[in-house]
Amino acid sequence: MTVEQAGRRGPVVHVDPVDAELELEPDETIIEAAWRLGYHWPTTCHGQATCTVCHVEVLSGAEHLVPPDDEERDALETRLPGAQRRDLTRIRLACRARATGDAVVRKKGVRPTQTVPIPPTGPL
Ligand code: FES
């Protein structure tokens, strides 16, 4: 069921290229919503703001994300590979970013963890 079919309540973060729509609960981060909704999200610290592996590129709606706190800013500036060459105003940690409105982000490696049965294709 899509977010539109279910009736929306909270902000939705659309994740490319997996084409996932994550409706965030109040005070929930992007990665927490992804985990709750059954998605694998790349990480090695599992939400501790230390690995930066969870980072996303914000494609639109950056103004709808709660501004980064000191912990997130420090992690991005000091631990994100190639941080000096990147536009950090468009990069957020999924384990820290919360939304107040809709946004679109890009994150490779996000995928559903639940398997979907494949219907038979012909007579048995
Ligand atoms: S999960 Fe490691 S920094 Fe976000």
| Distance (Å) from CA 95 to ligand 1 centroid | 5
What is the CATH number that goes with domain 28-109? 3.10.20.30
Residue 8 has pLDDT above 80, yes or no: no
Residue 104 CB neighbours (<10 A): 17
Tell me the C-alpha to C-alpha distance, in Å, between residue 45 and each of 15, 22, 41, 42, 93.
21, 21, 11, 10, 12
Please state the pTM of the whole predicted model.
0.86
More confidently predicted of 118 and 76: 76
Strand partners, 58: 105
Higher-confidence residue of 42 and 9: namely 42
pLDDT at 49 over 80: yes
Torsions phi, psi of 45, nearest 5?
Answer: -105, -5
- Which protein residues touch ligand 1 with a CB less than 6 Å away? 43, 45, 47-54, 75, 93, 95
- Choose among 77, 74, 58: nearest CA to 66: 58
Say yes or no to pLDDT of 4 above 80: no
Residue 7 has pLDDT above 80, yes or no: no
